[in-house]
Amino acid sequence: MALLELNDVAYAYGKQKVVQDLSLTLQPGEIGCLLGPSGCGKTTVLRCIAGFEQVSAGVIRVAGELISSRDTHLAAERRRIGMVFQDYALFPHLSAAANIAFGLRNSTKEVRQARVAELLLTVGLAGQGDKFPHELSGGQQQRVALARALAPRPRLLLLDEPFSNLDVELRERLALEVRSILAAEGTTAILVTHDQHEAFTIADQIGIMHEGRIQQWDTPYNLYHRPSNRFVADFVGQGVFLPGEVISANRIRIELGILSSEVLAGGNADDIARQVGQHVSVLLRPDDVVHDDASTLQAEVLAKAFRGAEFLYTLKLASGAQVLSLVPSHHNHAIGEHIGIRLDVDHVVAFKTAA
């Protein structure tokens, strides 16, 4: 049985539709993520799951129990759902240990102490339970907030932009730690974020949201390599589109050569694969374009961004079209220089070009 199910959920502020026809499923122990730009409705979905808002259509179930529909609204405090807020919402007058114990008020003192000690150890804060929030770093405060939410053993945990107040480097490291903590607790969780690195680091399943709808609910790998539509392809990762033409079954000619794949990805990919002469737009990721000094295919360096181990080059082709390429940083080419490139495309992603 799925731990979390949303079926055709909708929510509106008056006549303004914020969420429409939204469905997703999370299995026990899975971590899901709603990823999208500001204003796409992802936080509203989280609030509906938490019980802060009532859906206007559709149903939400947790462990098979109906918790929300147009006619049913189980109170938030009865849903056994934990939540970690964007600003952590720690009680400043309570120590870390007391913050964690807050949700265990109905337990015995011995049970509270044992659970707090267990969680302090789990989140890497053993021996620091006496410290107050202002004595902790942002990352430590985030761990205390997580431990407090986990203390009552919720059947589902919600995280609202949990790392947005942290610097980029700490964000990714803490995301890995949170994933490990949730796995250790066996907790099913869903978070919302606009940061792809966070989503890809922590989540098993990700829903790309746009204008209140999930465009694709899938694994991080499939979202990157098999986007279902142009919005997902544009939103996830980096890449550019080049015009192409289907020349035979599952073979497409573009300016840089002929791409061949047993399986094409993208909208109406099965139809595209069989339509000889069909004009398409082909997605090329930076890792699809490989620097090769021996190649006769040349491109001009228009711009470059140093990323430590790699440069991200923006390259201009003979037609004037531009592509991106990730190149090891010991290949330090000047702006305006022409370099050899070749294609190394494992997943061909193509979309029909509008007539």
DSSP codes, 60-80: EEETTEEEESSS-B--GGGS-
Beta strand pairing status for 279-284 and 240-248?
A: antiparallel
Instruction: Supply 319's token pair.
Output: 């037609």
Amino acid at position 5, single letter = E
> Can you state the angle between helices 109-122 and 138-150, rounded to 10 degrees?
140
Dig out the tokens for 70 from the structure.
């147009």
- 53: three-class secondary structure by DSSP: coil
Distance of CA 38 to the CA centre of its chain: 14
- The pLDDT assigned to 89 comes to 87
Largest CA distance in the chain: 75
Which pLDDT value is given to residue 273? 65
Residue 91 CA, chain-centre distance (Å), reads 29
User: d(Cα 85, Cα 160) in Å, to the nearest integer?
Assistant: 5
Q: Which amino acid is at 92?
A: P
The closest of 10, 114, 116, 1 to 58, measured between CA atoms, is 10
pLDDT of residue 106: 85
pLDDT at 354: 67
Q: What is the DSSP string of 188-232?
A: -EEEEES-HHHHHHH-SEEEEEETTEEEEEE-HHHHHHS-SSHHH
Those residues with Cβ within 8 angstroms of residue 67's Cβ, 6 or more apart along the chain or in another chain:
51, 60, 61, 74, 79
Quote the CA–CA distance of 71 and 177 in Å, as a whole number.
Answer: 39
Taking the C-alpha atoms of residue 251 and residue 249, their distance in angstroms, rounded to an integer, is 6
- On whether the CB atoms of residues 319 and 264 are closer than 8 A, the answer is no
pLDDT, position 253: 94
Instruction: Kindly list the averaged pLDDT for each block of 10 residues, start to end, along the chain of length 355.
Output: 96 92 97 94 96 96 96 95 89 96 90 95 94 94 94 95 82 88 94 92 96 96 92 93 90 92 71 80 94 94 94 96 94 95 91 76
Q: What CA–CA distance (Å, rounded) separates 332 from 137?
A: 38
Order of all β-strands in the sheet with 65-68: 16-26, 4-13, 57-62, 65-68
Q: Measured between alpha carbons, how far is residue 1 from residues 26, 31, 115, 161 in Å? A: 9, 16, 28, 28
Instruction: Give pLDDT, residue 355.
Output: 54
Q: Is the pTM for the entire model greater than 0.85?
A: yes
Q: What is the pLDDT of residue 249?
A: 80
